[in-house]
Amino acid sequence: MERSLEQKFTVEYQYNVYFTKGLFSLGNNLFKDFLSKRSNPGFKQKILFVIDAGFSEKNPELSNQIRNYFMESEDFILASEPLVIPGGEICKNDIKCLDSIIQAVDQYGIDRHSYIVGIGGGAILDLVGFAATISHRGIKHIRIPTTVLSQNDSGVGVKNSINYKGKKNFLGTFAPPQAVFNDFEFLHSLDDRSWIAGVSEAIKVALIKDINFYEWIVNNAQKIKTRNSAEMEDLIYRCADKHLEHIRNGDPFELGSSRPLDFGHWSAHKLEQMTDFKVLHGEAVSIGIAIDVLYSFLVGKISEKDAYSVVELLHQLDLPIYHPMLDTEEARFILLSGLLDFQEHLGGKLTIVLLEKLGKGIDVHSLEYPLVLQAIDLLKNFCQNQKPVYEAS
């Protein structure tokens, strides 16, 4: 006798992205008010802060500010001094960084009524979110991004991960944060290179989703490059909004084969690995966008004029569009192998986003390798008399 029980339920997710300045100043109650509305009467909930070491070095008073901010809290208590760990891709490559967070969870009794708060760039937020979601089957986590790229892109999403077996984001979870707090003042400590690198993600989402946003970036490119500009704040806000819109109305847990928000990323992820992550993620995405935009032209989807207008914009913003490592045939072969990694990561058939026109992406399921190589050659020729790509120290 055959029997079956049918089971179906829906889990609703909601989280806000807040934009502010001076998040931990005593006169700013945004973070306190958020926590108070979610307090658990009868006992103090614990908060564990995990901070990017590079950001902590540039903001030496941050730990004291956090301590003073919570000094008179009736509902929450700091579990310990903030845990400071190396930021950047190293924290996602070194399993010891993951272990240090899990050890803190165990040592300080961080449970599912507690919060883990990550402060730093996208890599730290990926790591902290992953550690939180695998500890006790899920501890609530909050993101406080400190780079342009993490404030406008990676920090507002639902993905958490570490690198493993030499593959980017091989281990990870889909788990939305409880909230995201973008403090524009945290961007002050960025160097010029990191300031502009995150703009590539805004160009990416504008090219595939919003021609008006793209044209706004073109018209404000020089102002965006200026430190502490209102235009950069607007760019971060609009880019974050576009990413949240996609998460709301698209495929937030990537159950299908399409990843529109990864336009330009199949080659970017591979290029990061090939350069031992000396090229920043936003810089690699810029190169990836340039490759895919020229490829879109070569297969007849967009005009040559439109394709080169994107390349010119990237160059105008001092974003790289080529890397000298790609001069060799061997390196280009390795780069092309990134297509297989890209397909394997999501599963199903290969799905790459190209441009149908500026402001609208289109899914394709194969790329012609000779045309990809031709696109790379066009970028090399464009850069012949330009300054070399930046490399991270």
392 has pLDDT over 50: no
Q: What pLDDT is recorded for position 389?
A: 44
**Do the first three CATH levels of 16-189 and 193-382 match, i.e. the same topology?**
no
115 has pLDDT over 90: yes
* Contact in structure between 324 and 389 (CB atoms under 8 Å): yes
| Domain residue ranges of the chain, discontinuous segments joined by + | 16-189, 193-382
Instruction: Report the C-alpha gap between 143 and 125 in whole angstroms.
Output: 6
262 Cβ neighbours under 8 A, 6+ residues apart: 342, 353
Instruction: Report the C-alpha gap between 368 and 145 in whole angstroms.
Output: 38
End-to-end CA distance of the chain: 67
24 has pLDDT over 50: yes
The pLDDT > 90 percentage for the chain reads: 77
| Phi, psi dihedrals of residue 166, rounded to the nearest 5° | 75, 10
Burial of 188-215, coded b for 16+ CB within 10 Å and e otherwise, reads eebeebbbbbbbbbbbbbbbbbbeebbe
Q: Specify burial of residue 28 (Cβ count, 10 A radius: 0-12, 13-18, 19+).
A: middle
Q: Are strands 352-357 and 360-364 parallel, antiparallel or unpaired?
A: antiparallel
391 has pLDDT over 60: no
Which CATH class, in words, describes the domain spanning 16-189? alpha beta
Instruction: Report the C-alpha gap between 275 and 252 in whole angstroms.
Output: 30
Q: What pLDDT is recorded for position 206?
A: 96
Q: Which two tokens stand for residue 76?
A: 């929450």
Which amino acid is it at 254?
A: E
Which amino acid is it at 78?
A: L
Instruction: Report the C-alpha gap between 70 and 67 in whole angstroms.
Output: 6
259 has pLDDT over 90: no
Q: What CATH number was assigned to the domain covering residues 193-382?
A: 1.20.1090.10
> Model confidence over 332-358: pLDDT tens digits?
999 998 888 777 766 677 889 999 999
* Contact in structure between 258 and 269 (CB atoms under 8 Å): no
* Contact in structure between 200 and 314 (CB atoms under 8 Å): yes
**Whole-number CA gyration radius for the chain:** 21
pLDDT category, 250, cuts 50, 70, 90? confident
> Model confidence over 3-12: pLDDT tens digits?
999 999 888 8
Farthest-apart Cα atoms in the chain, separation: 76
Instruction: Report the C-alpha gap between 145 and 236 in whole angstroms.
Output: 12
| Phi, psi dihedrals of residue 32, rounded to the nearest 5° | -60, -45
> Model confidence over 297-321: pLDDT tens digits?
999 999 999 999 999 999 999 999 9
